[in-house]
């Protein structure tokens, strides 16, 4: 076996590969950029090599630097992870010439399947059903418009070398193509160093289902069943699961057979994924093949017990697969939630910054459930604007789908992050939705279920009881420490629009919470909280829970899953006076265009005195490899411009002000 492997990647996937290498007794080398000098992967690796500045184009995408690092450290093989150089055939071929093993498929397979334009040509020739579209390169925007009109709207504009949801736009009309085509080319160039684009028909209300394949260098290929990846936003996966709630055994077998046939046709010899777009009627079309390890591979590992990173290493070393298709079976159900540094309350825009607090749920097996968290960060680390916004991948396993979803809901409750925007409340909201729990999914799910964006969820009756009990317990604990002479039994609790007279008795880790005006009582036990802590744990009437808490100017702000409430605990007289206070008015920003996220201004083309119409593109802000076109929400005349191309801006910074 290899004695030393270089990992040409960063973040959680670098950490993931290190863990398998350690188990296999293989030493690891991690390359790192300026932005990753203090990263978890660098700390865990046996050796490290600095390869350049933060932008990937100056570090992780420079093949010469990766090869030099392998030479310097004596690494016999390179694992590329995903993204960066993982699907670069010329890099794989270069390693062959250098006598370094590429832990991935052979260059021919990468060229045939990894390039989305070529893969469609190949699949068509192999008589595999593909999505209708233009198979070939596109010259310019005018050519893109012509092709789109020939195919018929809506169409999907995609980077040929794309992946990870980058370099994709759905165009519903000509204006979308005019704006989207150059934007996709720019994203493709900056993310993959390849700006070739293709266009295909966008199938409405589809499901995204993919088959995991695994091959060796002896002609053996198996599939490890499917993953459902339909919960997406901006064409990037957010929640994945295995198996799919859509498929029956016959459809699963048909998709698996087609994926294996395609892999065998190109002598595929590593882990790879054949992606399909599926209709609700179980019809399916070949979409593309990812010739690398997928981000969402943990759910497959959890239902099959197969370590895919280990299998990639064994295959690259020349070992035969140790199992056949008949040896593989689906065991239970697994869900994965991608924890992103993004603000769901701001349209899921990237949120960069430092992880001031980072408390993931405890990993391992509890009863019949398993919790797994693939992460490459620790408390105090910074999420940079230069790379993907992923913080970690949280996965759960249970014998059934609903049990796995419930396990995920609890794990998300226990996941606490502060210092930047993150999507945990949104993920928790999805876990609680009846539609998601029923398995009626499509790639339009987020758009359908959150048409006005994500605003949190309204509290249930149980959550109102929960926050009332928690607030009373917190108030009692704080008062007992700071002013015990003010302790009393009855309080008015105001949580949102809910107002209750509450009697709180007993103390320590157990409380009796009685609603005087409703003639009922609850029991709050196993209280785990003290002043200064940002997480409150307990058991309410036998149901364990975790809430995020923080003090407000008055009372507390308490979040349970996707519900956030400002809760006041007042004496009856204080409550009476509180109702007389005038409501606070929000600042008027109607005459301003604010940056929706921290990032880099790519273009800002308006000038003072210019007339701007509602819907007109005003500027482009880029962060984490994503370009966002910002439009005017109203007609107006520009009074002042607060930034220029090349400037770094913060969230809510004024870009344009109207007269």
Q: Are 570 and 578 in contact (CB under 8 A)?
A: yes
Q: Are 246 and 441 in contact (CB under 8 A)?
A: yes
User: Exposure string (b/e) for 156-192, b if CB count within 10 Å is 16 or more?
Assistant: bbbbbbbbbbbbbbbbeeeebbebbbbbbbbbbbbbb
- Active-site hit among 87, 275, 288, 301: 288
Query: Where are the alpha helices (H) located in 25-62, listed in sequence order?
Result: 40-44
For residues 65 and 55, give the distance between their C-alpha atoms in angstroms, rounded to a whole number: 14
Q: Are 239 and 231 in contact (CB under 8 A)?
A: yes
Overall residue count recorded for the chain in this entry: 659
**Tokens coding 574:** 């204080």
For residues 29 and 69, give the distance between their C-alpha atoms in angstroms, rounded to a whole number: 9
Cα distance from N-terminal residue to C-terminal residue, the chain: 70
Q: Are 292 and 308 in contact (CB under 8 A)?
A: no
| 581 exposure class (CB count in 10 Å sphere: 0-12, 13-18, 19+) | exposed
Distance of CA 39 to the CA centre of its chain: 19
Task: Look up 296 and say whether it is catalytic.
Answer: no
* Lookup result for tokens 């607030």: 471
Sequential DSSP letters for 544-574: EEEEEEEE-SSSEEEEETTEEEEEEEE-HHH
Q: How many angstroms separate the Cα of 176 from the Cα of each of 169, 233, 560? A: 9, 18, 39
Q: Are 500 and 515 in contact (CB under 8 A)?
A: yes
* Lookup result for tokens 């808490």: 549
Instruction: Cite the active site residues.
Output: 288
């Amino acid at each position: 076996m290899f004695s030393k492997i270089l990992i040409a990647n960063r973040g959680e996937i670098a950490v993931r590969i290190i863990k398998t290498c350690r188990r296999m007794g293989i030493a690891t080398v991690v390359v790192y950029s300026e932005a990753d000098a203090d990263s978890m992967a660098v700390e865990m690796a046996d050796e490290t090599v600095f390869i350049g500045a933060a932008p990937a184009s100056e570090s992780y995408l420079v093949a010469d630097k990766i090869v030099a690092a392998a030479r310097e450290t004596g690494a016999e093989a390179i694992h590329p992870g995903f993204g960066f150089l993982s699907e670069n055939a010329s890099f794989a071929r270069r390693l062959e010439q250098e006598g370094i093993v590429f832990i991935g498929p052979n260059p021919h397979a990468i060229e045939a399947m990894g390039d989305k334009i070529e893969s469609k040509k190949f699949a068509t020739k192999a008589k595999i059903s593909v999505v209708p579209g233009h198979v070939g390169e596109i010259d310019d925007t005018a050519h893109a418009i012509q092709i789109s009109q020939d195919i018929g709207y809506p169409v999907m504009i995609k980077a040929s070398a794309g992946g990870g949801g980058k370099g994709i736009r759905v165009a519903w009309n000509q204006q979308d193509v005019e704006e989207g085509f150059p934007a996709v080319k720019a994203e493709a160039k900056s993310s993959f160093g390849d700006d070739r684009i293709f266009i295909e028909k966008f199938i409405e209300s589809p499901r995204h289902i993919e088959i995991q394949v695994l091959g060796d260098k002896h002609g053996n290929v198996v599939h490890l069943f499917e993953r459902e990846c339909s919960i997406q936003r901006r064409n990037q996966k957010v929640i994945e699961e295995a198996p799919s709630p859509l498929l029956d055994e016959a459809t699963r077998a048909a998709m698996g057979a087609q994926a294996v046939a395609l892999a065998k046709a190109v002598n595929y010899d590593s882990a790879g994924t054949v992606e399909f777009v599926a209709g609700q009627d179980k019809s399916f079309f070949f979409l593309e093949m990812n010739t690398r390890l997928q981000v969402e591979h943990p759910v497959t590992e959890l239902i099959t017990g197969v370590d895919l990173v280990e299998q990639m290493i064994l295959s690259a070393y020349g070992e035969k697969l140790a199992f056949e298709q008949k040896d593989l079976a689906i065991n239970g159900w697994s869900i994965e939630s991608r924890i992103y540094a993004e603000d769901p309350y701001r349209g899921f825009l990237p949120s960069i910054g430092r992880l001031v607090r980072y408390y993931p749920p405890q990993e391992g097996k509890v009863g019949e459930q398993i919790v797994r968290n693939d992460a490459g960060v620790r408390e105090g680390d910074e999420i940079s604007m230069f790379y993907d916004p992923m913080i970690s991948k949280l996965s759960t396993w249970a014998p059934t789908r609903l049990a796995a979803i419930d396990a995920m809901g609890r794990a998300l409750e226990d996941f606490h992050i502060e210092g930047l925007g993150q999507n945990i409340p949104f993920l928790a909201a999805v876990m609680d939705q009846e539609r998601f729990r029923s398995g009626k999914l499509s790639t339009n799910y987020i758009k359908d279920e959150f048409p006005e964006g994500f605003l949190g969820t309204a509290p249930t009756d149980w959550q109102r009881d929960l926050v009332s009990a928690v607030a009373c317990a917190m108030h009692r604990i704080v008062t007992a420490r700071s002013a015990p002479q003010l302790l009393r039994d009855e309080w008015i609790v105001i949580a949102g629009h809910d107002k209750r007279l509450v009697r709180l008795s007993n103390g320590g880790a157990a409380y009796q919470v009685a609603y005087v005006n409703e003639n009922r009582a609850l029991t709050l036990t196993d209280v785990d909280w003290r002043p200064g802590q940002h997480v409150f744990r307990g058991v309410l009437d036998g149901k364990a829970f975790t809430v995020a808490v923080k003090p407000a100017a008055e009372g507390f702000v308490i979040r349970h899953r996707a519900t956030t409430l400002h809760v006041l605990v007042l004496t009856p007289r204080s409550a009476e006076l509180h109702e007389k206070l005038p409501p606070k008015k929000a600042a008027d920003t109607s005459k301003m265009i604010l940056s929706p996220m921290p990032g880099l201004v790519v273009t800002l083309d308006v000038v003072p005195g210019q007339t701007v119409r509602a819907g007109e593109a005003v500027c482009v802000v880029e962060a984490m490899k994503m370009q966002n076109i910002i439009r005017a929400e109203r007609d107006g005349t520009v009074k002042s411009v607060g930034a220029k191309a090349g400037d770094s801006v913060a969230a809510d910074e004024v870009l344009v002000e109207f007269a």
